[in-house]
Amino acid sequence: MHRCCHCHGRFGLVSHRFRFKRFCSSECVGTHRRNVATAIQERVSRWCSDFLTSMALGKGRISGEFAQRRYVGMPRGPAGALRRQP
């Protein structure tokens, strides 16, 4: 038997649809939308805070230590300038 994706209630004469899911009422649709939006916002804020923390602590992909290691042991070009290796 088919049930509402939010409250697991039975369908009446009318069923509401949102993103390939069926709901028994417009209240369930609104609640489901709010829950999904809140979950997405939490994931994005967690990702941003983790990313900014790692960059602040120098654990990011581009840190000062990484940039310094790129030029260690490379041959020098004309006039003593450092060259990047391809």
pLDDT single digits (tens) 35-65: 999 999 999 888 888 887 877 776 655 555 5
First to last CA, the chain: 63
- Residue pair 11/24 in contact (Cβ under 8 Å)? The answer is yes
Q: Where are the alpha helices (DSSP H) in the chain?
A: 26-56, 64-69
pLDDT single digits (tens) 2-40: 899 889 888 888 888 888 999 999 999 999 999 999 999
- Can you give the residue ranges of every domain in the chain? 1-69
Q: What type of residue is 37?
A: A
Report angle CA 83, 65, 60 to the nearest 5 degrees: 115
Token pair recorded at residue 4? 């509402």
